[in-house]
A and B are shown apart, each in its own frame.
Chain A
Amino acid sequence: GIQVEQSPPDLILQEGANSTLRCNFSDSVNNLQWFHQNPWGQLINLFYIPSGTKQNGRLSATTVATERYSLLYISSSQTTDSGVYFCAGIMNTGFQKLVFGTGTRLLVSP
């Protein structure tokens, strides 16, 4: 079946530091999405990234589909970056089914 694994499970950063989050996914994943879940539970779309690199402000993501992994880079972290970062593999089973990884819990301290 589909597998989506994330590392590290937990990460603590000092404000201003950079970090890299990793997502490994199995062959049955056709596409990939990154989300940020803020402390109030809201899931926010970050990137829809089947391959290549995308950037949005201090965040960027790279997916290497042939090697089945994706990376999320956070630069100059801020306390508002705290929360859980999920990658979700997308299976095309007649609809785009999201299968979430277990998440990386990030705490950015001032």
Chain B
Amino acid sequence: DAMVIQNPRYQVTQFGKPVTLSCSQTLNHNVMYWYQQKSSQAPKLLFHYYDKDFNNEADTPDNFQSRRPNTSFCFLDIRSPGLGDAAMYLCATSRDLAGASDTQYFGPGTRLTVL
């Protein structure tokens, strides 16, 4: 089945130790998104890629970076995780940027713990 896959599902890192989260998709969608969801809060968009074009949200900290080496894969890099970065990180895809049929499809998420 076509889907959005995130690895790992659970990630533990140490304060200040760089960590990379992975997302892949078999939907062949043009757009990939990264969201951060803290405990008991709603998901919040960090950034998105349209093809190779990177679009950062204005309030996303510099500590968060992203790479999209090809259509299928997108990575979230946290350069120096702090305790406040502990959260669920959700990857999503959509076929295109706008339009009635461009629903976003979400992966299962990676739960990040910072010790």
Contacts and interface: CB of A to CB of B under 8 A. Distances in A.
A41 interface: yes
B48 A95 contact: yes
A96 B98 contact: yes
Given A41-B88, A103-B42, A98 B104 contact: yes
Interface in A30-68: 31, 33, 35, 40-45, 48, 50
Contacts of A100: 42-44
Contact of A42 (B50, B55, B106): B106
B2 interface: no
B45 A98 contact: yes
B108 to A, nearest CB: 5
B42 A48 contact: no
B108 A41 contact: yes
Which of under 10, 10 to 19, 20 to 34, or 35 or more describes the interface residues of A? 20 to 34
Nearest to B104: A98
B103 A48 contact: yes
B103 to A, nearest CB: 5
Q: Is the interface of A mostly helix, strand, loop or mixed?
A: strand
B42 A95 contact: no
B97 interface: yes
Nearest to B99: A96
B50 A45 contact: no
B55 A33 contact: no
Contacts of A80: none
Interface of B: 31, 37, 41-45, 48, 50, 55, 88, 90, 92, 94, 97-100, 102-106, 108-109, 111
16 contacts: A31-B100, A35-B106, A41-B37, A41-B88, A42-B108, A43-B106, A48-B103, A86-B43, A92-B98, A95-B48, A95-B97, A96-B94, A96-B98, A96-B102, A100-B44, A102-B42
